[in-house]
Structure 1
Amino acid sequence: MKSLIKWIAIGFGTGLSPVMPGTVGTLVGLPLAWGLMQIHGWAAQAIICVLLTLLSIPICEVAEKMIGGKDPGCIVADEYLTLPITVIGLANPWALLSGFVLHRIFDITKPPPIKQLQHIHGGFGITIDDFLAALIALGLNHLIFHYFG
């Protein structure tokens, strides 16, 4: 069971990419985000995203203990399970691309308040920065598609 959790945590192998494992691992979230966009009603979409985020916490917790170290780069479940947040309430397929790019920018650069959360350990600590990055990306995605799309 633990090896299955680890396999999920490393994005079915994508987190083992020698180049930009977080970005490569986030690609796993694109089908999830696309599927989310097919569900009518932002409230239902938000509930699903909360559940995916909550699922990320124990997955990342177990994998971190198995792999060792704080927030190993190969753990990407936090990235791909929070990516769908970036498209809540949006129907334009281009929102997938902008959501992906914005999510990665905010996860990599960690602007405040994301940076201040880096001291938190465990699955919650691994997931919370991606959750906030996704929320910021969601806000910007809505601005982009409200004004330009």
Structure 2
Amino acid sequence: MSEKKTPLPTPTFAELLRSPVMLLAFGFGSGLARKAPGTFGTVAAIPLWYGLQFLSPVAYMGVLVVTFILGCYLCGAASKKLGVHDHGGIVWDEFVGYWLTMFMAPAGWLWALYGFVLFRIFDIAKPQPIGWVDRRVHGGLGIMLDDILAGIYAALVLQGTAYLIHTL
């Protein structure tokens, strides 16, 4: 029978700087916000998305695949180190979920803001099957997967809105 691991307290920014895994998992420190770390993590993803939006669709998708795979490792390792599944401060999944939301989105800060709002709504509300995945899939994959699904839902609404606006 294994002993139950006592969760560690949220690390400090100085502790994050000593561990590249924790620094990335905590979104360069954005996950240290005392309230709404997921929202702060998503905000921190926006400037990085600004650079990504200029990539070709193939290159952008490549970045999404690599950051998803990296995120499975980062989130799993950080979760294990902290002794808590999906610690609120782990926000790499929000980064990748937001970037997925914004894949092939129209240019402009209004669209970036709209994507932000949509992603946060789906990430927080967790409509099915997101809620099921969040409860049943564990480890780094589970931490990443619910945000990927939220990103897909948000992207579908964003793209649908863009289509309607441009065809009316």
Taking structure 2 as the reference length, the TM-score comes to 0.82
Q: Which residue of 1 aligns with 2:157?
A: 140
Q: Does 1:39 align with 2:39?
A: no
Match of 2:71 among 56, 66, 75: 56
Which runs of 5 or more residues in structure 2 are unaligned? 1-16
CA offset at residue 148 of structure 1?
Answer: 1.9
State the alpha-carbon separation in 1 of the partners of residues 18 and 65 from structure 2. 23
CA deviation map 1:8-39 (0-9, x unaligned)? 11112211111101101111211222222111
Aligned AA (1:90) = A
CA offset at residue 73 of structure 1?
Answer: 0.5
Three-state SS of the structure 2 residue aligned to 1:61 is: helix
Aligned AA (1:44) = A
Which runs of 5 or more residues in structure 1 are unaligned? none
List 4+ stretches of structure 1 deviating above 4 A.
none
Aligned AA (2:122) = F
State the alpha-carbon separation in 2 of the partners of residues 95 and 54 from structure 1. 26
- Of all paired residues, the percent bearing the same amino acid is 36
Match of 1:17 among 13, 33, 42: 33
Q: Which residue of 2 aligns with 1:84?
A: 99
Contact 1:85 1:138 (8 Å CA) reproduced: yes
State the alpha-carbon separation in 2 of the partners of residues 126 and 19 from structure 1. 19
* RMSD of Structure 2 on Structure 1 (CA): 1.6
State the alpha-carbon separation in 2 of the partners of residues 125 and 98 from structure 1. 26
CA offset at residue 43 of structure 1?
Answer: 2.9
For the pair shown, the structure with the greater C-alpha radius of gyration is 2
Contact 1:57 1:124 (8 Å CA) reproduced: yes
Q: Which moved more, 1:104-113 or 1:82-91?
A: 82-91
CA offset at residue 78 of structure 1?
Answer: 0.7
Contact 2:37 2:91 (8 Å CA) reproduced: yes
CA offset at residue 2 of structure 1?
Answer: 7.6
Taking structure 1 as the reference length, the TM-score comes to 0.92
Aligned AA (2:42) = T
CA offset at residue 121 of structure 1?
Answer: 1.0
Three-state SS of the structure 2 residue aligned to 1:27 is: helix
Counting matched residue pairs gives 148
Three-state SS of the structure 2 residue aligned to 1:73 is: coil
Q: Which residue of 1 aligns with 2:148?
A: 131
State the alpha-carbon separation in 1 of the partners of residues 18 and 138 from structure 2. 20
Aligned AA (2:111) = A
